[in-house]
Each structure stands twice: as C-alpha cells, then as structure tokens.
Amino acid sequence: MSAEKNKALIRRLAQALNTRNWTVLDELLAPNFVNHNPASGEKPGLKGHKEAVISIINAFPDLKFIIKDMIAEGDKVAIRATFSGTHRGEFMGIPPTNKWATVQEIGIVRIVNGKVIEEWSNSDSLGMLQQLGVIPPIKQPKK
C-alpha cells in the first residue's frame, strides 16, 4: 500500500475509536496483531488489544483521540497524538476521579496487506496520573 493509503487507514482507525465502532478494529487490525508496548494487564493479540481499548473507553467515556502529526514511509506510519477525556470509570484499579486528562502519545504501526500487524507506542502515563490527582506533580527546582 502507498504511504497515503496507510495514513488513511490510521485516520480511519482514529475515527473508529472516536465513534466507538469496534467492528472497524476487526477489519483493520490483523488477527495476529502484536502490541509491543501493551497497556498494564493487556492480554496478547487482537482480542486482548480490543479489550484494553474498550476498557479505557469505559473508564473515559468521552475520550477523544486526536492525531497531531503523521508520517508514513514504506510499511510504517508514525503518529503523535493525544487522548483526552473525563475519568468516570475504574482505570488501572483507580476509582473514578471525574477529572479531565490529556495524554500525549507517540506511536509507530506496521501495515501489511491493508491491516495493522504491529504497534509500538509510548504514552505519558505519569502525566495522566498527575492530572487525575493520583500522584503529586513533580516539583520543579527553584532557579
């Protein structure tokens, strides 16, 4: 697939997350999908990834995924994105705080035959936990 088609596939995945269209995940993620940086407690494979995504949406029911930047080359697409939402359900054992959080994420996906087969990502989990009030912010040294 071309770089533009690969980017369109990622935009379609983002739209599916924002509209809660879980059938698109089955359509665009390969059955042997591998998440190289799974969320805490995420089971392996497509089924485990889908469960983890739905669990996050249940914890942040108004969550929106916004792609800020996207670069494609060969079979890979790199994105810089944000996830924003209100913490209204249990998340990672944390009871709802009803606080808004915005999480920065950088990710790379590999696409083969029109399906995402691998993902590598890194999210600002520390920043999210600070926004939720679960851990205190890091104090900056005085200048």
- Please work out, in degrees rounded to the nearest 5, the angle formed at the alpha carbon of residue 133 by the alpha carbons of 131 and 135: 100
Query: What is the set of domains in the chain, with CATH numbers?
Result: 3-131 (3.10.450.50)
pLDDT tens string 103-122 = 999 999 999 999 999 999 99
Dihedral Cα 41, 47, 51, 52, nearest 10 deg? 50
- Please work out, in degrees rounded to the nearest 5, the angle formed at the alpha carbon of residue 137 by the alpha carbons of 132 and 141: 170
Q: What predicted TM-score, i.e. pTM, was given to this entire model?
A: 0.87
pLDDT for the residue numbered 44: 87
pLDDT for the residue numbered 138: 81
pLDDT tens string 31-53 = 999 999 887 778 888 889 889 99
pLDDT band at 86 (very low <50, low <70, confident <90, very high): very high
Contact (CB, 8 A) for 65 and 80? no
Q: How far apart are CA 125 and CA 105, in angstroms?
A: 9
